[in-house]
Structure 1
Amino acid sequence: MPETRSRPFDLLVVGDANPDVVLGPVPRDLVYGQREQLVERADLVLGGSAAITACGAARLGLRVAFAGRVGDDPAGAFVRTALAARGVDTSALTTDPELATPLTAVLTHGADRAILTAPGCLAATGPQDVPDALIAGVRHVHAGSFFLMPRLARALAAVFARARELGATTSLDTNDDPSGRWDRELLDPVLKVTDQLLPNAAEARALAPDAEGVAGAAAALARRGPGLVVVKNGAEGALAHDGSRLSTASAVPVEPLDTVGAGDSFDAGFLAAVLRGLALPDALAVACACGSLSARGRGGTAAQPTWDEAVGCAPVNRTTNSGSSAWPT
């Protein structure tokens, strides 16, 4: 395997980036008929699962690059500026000359939320937006929002296979599938070249509908190819399954202000821990801390923790083999 420690970037994140307008609390039953309704708060923040993960990883001290697509519009400029301000390299963030930047409205109601997205240029995001030279310069490639980008989804197995050829490890967070199909034929080739699959509990159950419970879904998914399935399970913490063994970690108790992007911050914490050489139980603990602590602020990136903050809230073994992956390909 090619040496990776001296590469320019620790992590390449591939996927979605867009502004989020977070509104709430919103009544459960919205009133139509052109009635104006007031909410307590609205925030314009950086959104997109991949973008939030990239920012969280940079906050944790990783050298992070982002590959994706935005429109040639004010929303795209907002995204580019927000990523760069958080230390993420955006030289591979393509500007689409015709299609608009995706936009998302997040309507919050207590701990629940509805998410409305206009996909814009997400449908045009594809393998052409992931330069081979950039893949060769990273230790790990992570992709988010698999089902929102069908062109990229169809090519992601080849992108991941190329990353592995060049010595990088891989991970995927599918996120939700708005179509409700959870296309196994599309996903399974990607799972065979994925080192870590990172769904939440609802997504894991949807991806493995015949399995019993969250742990059963994780085990079933692990048997389909990924080296490890890590499931975010809200207040229950997280669990991981490698096809034969189950590991668990508890959530870090916080008073949540906004849970938007908490799962993406979990992803960032897990990847940062793995790339620092932490063992699986410690990586899960750090990831849970990152997910919980991110809920202290509004939007997905405002309260993402530093490495010291995350480790300070997680019971980890601080003697690690820094810079080596815990799960080599």
Structure 2
Amino acid sequence: MKRDLVVIGEANPDLVASGLDALPRLGTEILCQEFGVSLGGSSALVAAGAARLGLSVGFITRVGDDLFGRFVREELAKCGLDLAGLVVDPSVRTGVGLILSLPTDRAIVTFLGSISGLPAELIDLDYVFAHRHLHVSSFFLQDLLRPSVASLFARAREAGLTTSLDTGFDPKEEWDGGLRDVLAQADLFLPNEVEATAIAGASDPEEAAVLLSQMVAGTVAVKMGARGAVAAANGRLVRHPGFRVPVVDTTGAGDAFDAGFLAAFLRGECLESCLAMGCACGALSVTAMGGIAAQATLEQATRLVATGHV
């Protein structure tokens, strides 16, 4: 029997400073209310979140044989993922994310290291094809993988898989790298509003969703933080206002949304239900520090969707 989901991408530790009122200015020192180290990397967080929701998930990634790489492997093993596709490479240093978390958003400083270093030749296609769905995150950070994503998606779809992409932010703000070819092979595209409006050249998330839906093979869902999300498919526009929850740290909220949306999608649910489940998982994620501590169970997310309360 096929597993539900395979995620290809990066895994790294996140060093999270939360409870900041503002970002530091050069030459000054500020205090944070909390600090922690947790599993990070958008791809890893999507995989972990989907497993938490009950999906069977395989994860393909590359880490170094160093302190941070060992931390990542230990944390991934706790998530119930199949790690047959994990590569430990002594020649690379494991990437790291430094997260500066404010009440409503966060800024990220990234050391790429292994994050950009997963070449397509390390990916076992037979392993990929043993799943129902293929997801790729952090498109703009994965320098070695990026040129192969369009062909990888095309081959996956030929093998009967559905596909999804979350580009993440482009540090160069060029928003290209062959993205349109990838979108043509993507059944789902899951950007946030900054990414969506930049890629589409749109003035607002709804316009971006409509424009991007004309580029993808299926559905676009645009994440809008505390304002919920909007999705476009087959000429339809669907909105969800999100859920009110106490905010501790927004790290990984978008990845939790992806996991929730994918879980509902793979259960064959309608677009409205997929959007609601994504918003619920994203909301629950922000109630604790780090991207993984408050990832939702299916029971928790379903209850929030049904009642509107945590």
Give your verdict on TM over 0.5: yes
Q: Which moved more, 1:174-183 or 1:93-102?
A: 93-102
Q: Which residue of 1 aligns with 2:47?
A: 54
CA distance in 1, matches of 2:7, 2:237: 27
Partner of 2:179: 187
Deviation at 1:107, TM superposition (A): 1.1
Match of 1:15 among 1, 5, 9: 9
The SS at the match of 1:314 is helix
TM-score by length of 2: 0.95
Corresponding position: 1:232 with 2:190: no
Question: CA contact under 8 A between 1:56 and 1:265: conserved in structure 2?
Answer: yes
Which string of whole-angstrom CA distances, capped at 9 and with x for unpartnered residues, describes residues 62-88 of structure 1?
001111111111111111111110111
> For residues 41 and 61 of structure 1, what CA distance do their matches in structure 2 show?
30
Following TM superposition, by how much is the alpha carbon of 1:162 offset from its aligned partner in structure 2, in angstroms? 1.2
> 2:242 and 2:29 mapped to 1: Cα distance?
39
> Is it true that 1:158 corresponds to 2:173 in the alignment?
no
Letter of the structure 2 residue corresponding to residue 240 of structure 1: A
Q: Which residue in the other structure is 2:235 paired with? A: 244
Instruction: Give the number of aligned pairs.
Output: 307
SS in 1 for 2:305: coil
5+ long unaligned stretches in structure 1: 1-5, 317-329
Comparing 43-52 with 87-96, greater Cα deviation is found at: 87-96
1:168 maps to 2:161: yes
Amino acid of the structure 1 residue aligned with 2:132: R
Give the whole-Å Cα distance in 2 for the aligned partners of 1:234 and 1:125.
29
1:208 counterpart = 2:229 = no
Residue 118 of structure 1: how far off its partner (Å): 0.4
For residues 31 and 63 of structure 1, do their structure 2 counterparts lie closer, same or farther at Cα, with a shift above 3 Å needed? same
Q: Aligned residue for 2:80?
A: 87
- Equivalent in 115, 120, 125 of residue 122 of structure 1: 115
* Deviation string, structure 1 residues 196-235 (Cα, Å, up to 9, x no partner): 00001111001111x3421111111111133110111112
Q: Unaligned regions of 5+ residues in structure 2, if any?
A: none
**Which residue pairs with 2:100 in the alignment?**
107
- State the TM-score, normalizing by the size of structure 1: 0.89
Distance 1:112 1:279 in 2: 29
**What value does the CA root-mean-square deviation take over the aligned residues?**
1.6
Confirm or deny: 8 A CA contact 1:67 1:129 kept in the other structure.
no
CA distance in 2: counterparts of 1:227 and 1:199, whole angstroms? 14
Corresponding residue of 2:289: 298
The one-letter code matched in structure 2 to 1:257 is V
Q: State the shift of 1:193 in Å.
A: 0.7
Q: Is the 8 A contact 2:287 2:294 kept in 1?
A: yes
Equivalent residue letter for 1:94: V
**Fraction of identical pairs, as percent:** 45
